[in-house]
Amino acid sequence: MDLASEVLKTEGVFVSRRDPSYKVIESYYVQRPFAKVSIVSTTEGPQYFVEEYGLEPDEKITLDLLMKILMDEIRPPVKSEDIKDLKGYTYREIERIIDKYKSKLNLVGARRYKILYYIERNLLGYGPIDPLMRDPNIEDISCNGVNIPIYVWHRKYESIPTNIIFTDEDYLNEFVMKLVHMSGKHISVAFPIVDAMLPEKHRLAATFGREVSVKGPTFTVRKFREKPFSITELIKSNVLNPVMSAYLWILIEHLKTLMIAGGTGAGKTTMLNAISLFIKPGMKIVTVEETPELNLPHSNWVQLTTRETYLVGQKRSGTSIELYDLVKLSLRYRPDYIIVGEVRGSEAFVLFQAMATGHGGLSTIHAETLDYAIKRLTSKPMNIPPTYMKLMNVFLHVSRIVTRVEKGVVKVNRRVTVIQEVDDYNKYITIAKWLPASDTFEVDLSKSIHLKDIADKRGVDIEDIIEEIYRRTTVLSWMIYKDILDPWDVSRIIFNYYTDPVSVYEKARSDLEEAEVEAPPPVKAEAAVVIEETGETRELGESTRELFEKTREIGK
């Protein structure tokens, strides 16, 4: 059987066949052997083609009949373990019913598995967009209305159209309702807008009918990455370099505050999650988000999310919980670090107040430049007084950069374009910047006022802190050499470094020297890990070491 041998037409959905004249740029399976994706070059640019095994007419009849039987005969779960694993239970029920009717419906061989694929896709999955949901290269899926191709945001090719089109408005309304119900929420003519989270933590935004969307029902799914990007993945992709990463590591260890600025799709949340892995194990972390996107290996972590509640005739009801409420609440948890997914309103003022009392703070802000980020923070609705601006110690700007063009396809990458420390309002010190001509970074740690502050609190010279940064640079370079990219593996090594920096550093330096891999020059490893506590420093006590030993196992 050929994939996509015919144009696939189902009620309300049209999936076009790939033109043989189109040049295939890339092709891969998302569910072997039933669903394949091809990125092709067309006169209008790259296009994303989904190719699934088509159903013969008799197979389509069998599928429709079997779906009706399933609706009648699937028994509701009774056991608690089945209720907890509802998807697994439903799949087992499907297998049971297929076995029951396999003789009558000729459900044997390849025919059985092909029909089972479509049952799973339509009943347990996401129907016509299921292959898109299975593709790990897809970040966003957008339906902009009826008779408009679905668009996807591909990690390599960015925004490109697919060959999937919803052609019937009623069908699309039903599909949107299904997505919303999967999220545990409600959508209707009375409440035509929904912002929700799908079971796999994918973010869903949807509209119903033509109440607010002129071209019919719409939806956008922003996919959740089960394993976030690690700092070593970002270094390997040249988003930043090891020295910049080690600099951020030392700042975060000492509860410095940092804000990541950037435009849409620049990778702000990705960067935020990656550097959050530098937080010491055992530290109390509270994250505040509208939709939970951060994913940390720390056990001492409180994850807070907003809640929206609608009442007829009211824009916001008394039972709605916003970022402002949660940031205020987070202070009651006595956190070491408060992480706010994105600041946009009055919650920013509370965050700055928290930083003024000694809490570490990490956040992102939507801004194309650092100057614009400052202007947003000091204007309504955030209203941060200019005198408070230095409470945000460091600003990091990340951008989407067009670095090269290959075979007519624009290659877009992310780069940390600048890291600046805030000395005072409108007074910034550039620590690192991206050099476009060479696609490299220029770093000058000697100008850092916050490294000087850390050195003063530890009773050492700034040169000693810079040496420590180079030791950590060696460890990060070693992880990249060893291809340690999994975020949980990276976090274990970071946790190990906090426990036994000498052993980790010496192992990294020895391996790099043996392999003749370029790394910072050897420096003497420090035997003691120093923790800042109420303005004083101390070596790790035995109880703290025991805690670190336990947290080393997190993420396995």
Q: Across the chain, how many H-helices and E-strands are there?
A: 17, 22
Average pLDDT of 420-434?
93
Query: What percent of the chain stands above pLDDT 90?
Result: 68
Q: Does 325 or 539 have the greater pLDDT score?
A: 325
C-alpha 507/C-alpha 354 separation (Å) is: 39
At the top level of CATH, the class of 231-551 is alpha beta
Nearest-CA neighbor of 414 among 291, 292, 260? 260
Rounded to a whole number of angstroms, the distance between the first and last alpha carbons of the chain is 42
Residue 92: other Cβ atoms inside 10 A:
13
Q: What is the pLDDT of residue 85?
A: 85
pLDDT band at 480 (very low <50, low <70, confident <90, very high): very high
Neighbouring residues of 128: CB distance < 8 A, sequence distance ≥ 6: 10, 13, 15, 164, 166, 175
User: What integer best gives the mean pLDDT of the chain?
Assistant: 87
pLDDT of 213 above 90: yes
- Residue 435's H or E segment, with its range, is strand 427-435
- Residue 166's H or E segment, with its range, is strand 158-166
pLDDT tens for 332-374 read 999 999 999 999 999 999 999 899 888 999 999 999 888 899 9
pLDDT tens for 389-403 read 999 999 999 998 876
pLDDT tens for 264-296 read 889 999 999 999 999 999 999 999 998 888 999
pLDDT tens for 314-334 read 555 556 889 999 999 999 999
pLDDT band at 10 (very low <50, low <70, confident <90, very high): low
Q: What is the pLDDT of residue 536?
A: 36
Q: What is the pLDDT of residue 552?
A: 38
Average pLDDT of 50-70?
91
pLDDT tens for 237-257 read 999 999 999 999 999 999 999
Domain ranges within the chain, ordered by starting residue: 57-117, 231-551
pLDDT band at 8 (very low <50, low <70, confident <90, very high): very low
Q: What is the pLDDT of residue 276?
A: 97
Q: Is 418 helix (H, G, I), strand (E, B) or coil?
A: strand
Q: What is the pLDDT of residue 410?
A: 63
Which of the residue ranges 68-77, 149-158, 314-323, 377-386 would you say has the lowest mean pLDDT? 314-323
pLDDT of 190 above 80: yes
C-alpha 58/C-alpha 49 separation (Å) is: 26
pTM: 0.82
Nearest 10 degrees: CA dihedral of 470, 471, 472, 476?
90
pLDDT of 124 above 80: yes
* Beta-bridge mates of residue 164: 15
DSSP letter (8 states) at residue 426: T
